[in-house]
Structure 1
Amino acid sequence: MEHWLTTIPPFAVYLLAGLAVGIESLGIPVPGEIILVAAAVMSSKHELSISPHGIAISAVCGAVIGDTIGYTVGRRYGHHLFGFLERKFPHHFNKDLIDYAEHVFHRWGMLAVFFGRFIALLRIFAGPLSGSLKMHYPRFLAANLAGAICWAGGTTYLVYYLGKAAEKYLKDFSYVGLGVALLFGLLLSTVLKRRLQRKVEAYAEQRRVEQAAPAAD
């Protein structure tokens, strides 16, 4: 495995990380975060000629470009886009989730774009939903760029330095340490996803109660 990894051209790793993050930012549910973490893990290995700076830059570019395309599509096609995504990816999109995301972006605006970058489900919605809600593009771009730098750059360098520490202190068990770090990251992502799902369900129930109240009157 280690020998195979040394044959991968660094450019291919940068391209894959940037494409994965960019496609996810378009609104298509691919595991961009997992691929970014895996690329950052590879950059921490001294046997591989992969730079964490290259990973970070490619991921930031992919995030900004993908979100911008998603924003443009969302601005032009609006809620027709979300109907299409709901039909094509029913396990990832539903009306309750879309309604909650729209509520968050209506309420928080630029902050939702920035902090949404750190939450997988909201990260998928950031570009298309901001465009659909007609957010002023310079404001969207500023929040998008800041979020991309903090999320993509922060994730890359955090995993990189954890990997270097594991390689230094665990020596022959460095891959085990990296695996543990990767598992921790995935568990944290799962916890955040479940918390978001509970908020989506609570908001959906609140909306149903509010809609039923006038009918009862």
Structure 2
Amino acid sequence: METFFSLDYLISLFARYGYGVIGVVVMLESMGLPLPAESLLITGALFCATTHQLQIEGVIIAGVTGAVMGDNLGYLIGHALGLKLLGKYGPKFGLTPQRLLLGRYVFLKHGGPVVFLGRFIAVLRMFVALLAGANRMPWHSFLFYNALGGLFWAGGYAFCAYMLGSQIIRLSGWFALAFGAIAVVLILTALVFFKRNEKRLTEEAMKAAEHDERLKVLHP
């Protein structure tokens, strides 16, 4: 059975729906749904480099637009529901008490910049807009950091993946294999780095919650 993660299925989605599938999936993930937006964005860029059936400019525009729209909708949802309802219904959408605590801790500690940096960390990317709205972050500040983060995340990932795909195609033999191996090692290193930092931040948040009433997960 085809899954959303299979390469053949992704290629069929690009061929059928073009840039729309990228924009919609990025938007839904930014609203808090557990979807592989980052993988889709990178795969879309590689699809451009290898098939030329899509333009990288369109992928970047779709990704940035989906990110900004999704985060703003997530902000409105968080603003309307508040922390108590997020604590009650969040686990149904992957926002576990630990993730809620982590997001609130990082958000209250660093403010606006976490909206920008959260775009690059999977566990925060899905929920930072909800937390910004629930914590009543001023919308104009949220919009600035949100748009900046969406531009660098979608634009940077898509462009780098596109250039990587283009270079591998131009190379041949052992050079292509070596180039690809180095790229894989760098990507895996980045993933391990972010994963370890997520774990460290979660532990910090749990310790801080023992002394800061603002960080205690709210239950109805």
Is the CA contact 1:17–1:55 (under 8 Å) kept in the aligned structure 2? yes
The CA distance in 2 between the partners of 1:82 and 1:4, in whole Å, is 35
Identify the match of residue 29 of structure 1 among 27, 30, 34: 34
Match of 2:102 in 1: 100
Q: 1:201 aligns with which of 194, 200, 203?
A: 203
Answer whether contact 1:74 1:128 (CA < 8 A) is retained: yes
Q: Which amino acid aligns with 2:73?
A: I
CA displacement at 1:181 relative to structure 2:
4.1
Normalising by structure 1, report the TM-score. 0.82
How well do the aligned residues superpose, as a CA RMSD in angstroms? 3.0
Letter in 2 for 1:85: G
Residues 1:77 and 2:81 aligned together: yes
Aligned: 1:48 with 2:45: no
Q: How many residues align?
A: 205
The change in CA–CA distance for 1:180 and 1:35 in structure 2 (over 3 A counts) is farther
Give the TM-score normalised by the residue count of structure 2.
Answer: 0.81
1:68 aligns with: 72
State the match for 1:148 in structure 2. Answer: 150
- Structure 1 distance, partners of 2:206, 2:28, is 28
Query: Cα offset for 1:199?
Result: 1.7
1:164 matched residue in structure 2:
166
Overall identity of the aligned pairs, in %: 30
Note the alpha carbon deviations across 1:67-120, whole angstroms, 9 max, x for none.
Answer: 01000010001120342121x14xx43223212211211222211111111111
Larger displacement relative to structure 2 (26-35 or 103-112) = 103-112
User: Deviations 1:133-172 (Å, cap 9, x if unpaired)?
Assistant: 1111111111100110011001000110111111101379
